[in-house]
């Protein structure tokens, strides 16, 4: 049994009962059997029962007043495979969630009417009861208050109703060691990490806006109001893409709790060119200042600073695609070969 605890639900997977396998000795009192026997469900029996029945209830401890789902409403999924009856349940019941948190869910159980059975004598002295046709009407989650004395305990009960006094329904409980996966703490850390990342992004965005506003006065004196305002608007737009509108990516394997990164591509100046955002902004501002009349004509231009040689194409004023970057010291011959255009 695998139990995954979420903030508002619990997801439980496991096998309710095996097929083609003997149970431990149980006590029963059917038409063919009176006393102790081992029991086996013939393969295909669960499948035929599910095909005939439109709905199977999901209960807690076989209590009809503790309905927590059904196959009809979608909380419970049942299917027979070569191992047995496999169940998948998504439960939002508060009591069940609390019991799962406390490790008090101990196994599966199911209720059935036995329609056909066969008897086999065994050398061990205890006969084998083979169930070949059943009507399974409910599956239950069992908590620690109903732990059976051994797996495969049979509890026989009389069905209620005036005309059903002679019909016996039986329950089978499969005690199972639960593997509990609590995702609540991870979800809380995830949301806290995300909130902190977004808060930091907004703070850095505000700091950059403040810096750009201070630079606007300087740029007006150098470039004139129209060009300076256009450059300022472009910087603000890039900052918004970087800090507020970027696609968030989460890497759960980075660090203890995982790490968020931005998927906006603004930390690189182009394919094969490694430039920080600040360097790209600084060089772009210098180019816009030195060559305010450059247009997006598809040409490749050169730009040389004190320490570096850059090649770039113009996308529009203030926005450049850098295709090459080299340190000047030690690369003089390469730079001569790359020089072309402006």
In the chain, what percentage of residues exceed pLDDT 90? 19
Last residue of a domain, one of 150, 182, 214: 182
Domain count, the chain: 3
Q: Is residue 259 in a domain? A: no
- Its pTM surpasses 0.75: no
In the block, residue with structure tokens 């695609």: 321
Q: Is there a single domain that holds both residue 217 and residue 295?
A: no
pLDDT at 166: 40
Domain closes at, from 155, 182, 209: 182
Predicted confidence at residue 246, as pLDDT, reads 53
In three-state secondary structure terms, 317 is coil
Q: Tell me if 16 is assigned to some domain.
A: yes
The pLDDT of residue 272 is above 50 = no
Domain check: are 20 and 93 in the same one?
Answer: yes
Residue 134 to residues 53, 201, 234: CA-CA distances in angstroms? Answer: 11, 61, 73
Same domain, 108 and 168: yes
Asked if residue 151 and residue 224 are part of one domain, the reply reads no
In this structure, the answer to whether residues 274 and 233 fall within a common structural domain is no
260 is a domain residue: no
Q: Who wins on pLDDT, 144 or 331? A: 144
Q: What is the pLDDT of residues 188-212, one digit of tens each?
A: 655 666 666 666 666 766 677 777 7
Helix, strand, or coil (residue 251)? strand
Mean pLDDT of the chain: 75
Residue 285 sits in which domain range?
Answer: 267-342
In a domain, 257, yes or no: no
Same domain? 119 vs 188:
no
Q: Verify that 159 and 53 share a domain, yes or no.
A: yes
117 and 38 together in one domain = yes
CA distance 232 to 51: 69
Q: Which two tokens stand for residue 101?
A: 């948190």
Q: Are 283 and 310 in contact (CB under 8 A)?
A: yes
Q: What are φ and ψ of residue 33, in 5° steps? A: -125, 135
pLDDT digits 0-9 by tens, 114-145: 889 898 888 777 888 899 999 999 999 988 88
pLDDT at 262 over 60: no
Asked if the structure places residue 188 within a domain, the reply is yes
């Amino acid at each position: 049994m695998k139990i995954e605890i979420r903030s508002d639900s619990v997801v439980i997977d496991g096998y309710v009962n095996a097929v083609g396998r003997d149970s431990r000795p149980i006590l029963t009192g059917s038409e063919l059997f009176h006393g102790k026997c081992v029991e086996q469900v013939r393969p295909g029996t669960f499948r035929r029962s599910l095909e005939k029945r439109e709905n199977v209830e999901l209960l807690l401890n076989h209590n009809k007043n503790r309905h927590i789902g059904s196959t009809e409403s979608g909380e419970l999924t049942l299917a027979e495979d070569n191992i047995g009856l496999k169940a998948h349940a998504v439960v939002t019941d508060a009591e069940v969630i609390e019991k799962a948190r406390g490790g008090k869910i101990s196994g599966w159980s199911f209720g059935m009417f036995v329609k056909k059975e066969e008897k086999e004598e065994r050398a061990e002295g205890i006969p084998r009861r083979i169930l070949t046709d059943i009507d399974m009407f409910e599956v239950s989650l069992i908590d620690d208050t109903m732990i059976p004395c051994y797996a495969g305990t049979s509890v026989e009960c009389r069905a209620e109703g005036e005309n059903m006094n002679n019909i016996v329904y039986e329950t089978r409980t499969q005690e199972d060691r639960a593997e509990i996966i609590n995702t609540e703490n991870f979800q809380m850390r995830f949301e806290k990490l995300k909130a902190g990342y977004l808060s930091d992004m907004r703070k850095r965005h505000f700091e950059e806006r403040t810096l750009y506003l201070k630079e606007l006065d300087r740029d007006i004196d150098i470039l004139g109001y129209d060009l300076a305002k256009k450059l300022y608007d472009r910087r603000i737009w890039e900052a918004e893409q970087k800090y507020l509108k970027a696609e968030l990516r989460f890497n759960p394997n980075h660090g203890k709790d995982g790490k968020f990164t931005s998927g906006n591509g603004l930390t690189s100046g182009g394919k094969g060119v490694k430039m920080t955002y600040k360097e790209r902004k600084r060089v772009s501002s210098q180019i816009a200042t030195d060559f305010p009349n450059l247009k997006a004509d598809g040409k490749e231009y050169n730009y040389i600073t004190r320490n570096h040689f850059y090649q770039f194409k113009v996308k529009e004023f203030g926005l450049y695609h850098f295709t090459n970057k080299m340190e000047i010291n030690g690369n003089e011959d390469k730079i001569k070969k790359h020089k072309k255009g402006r």
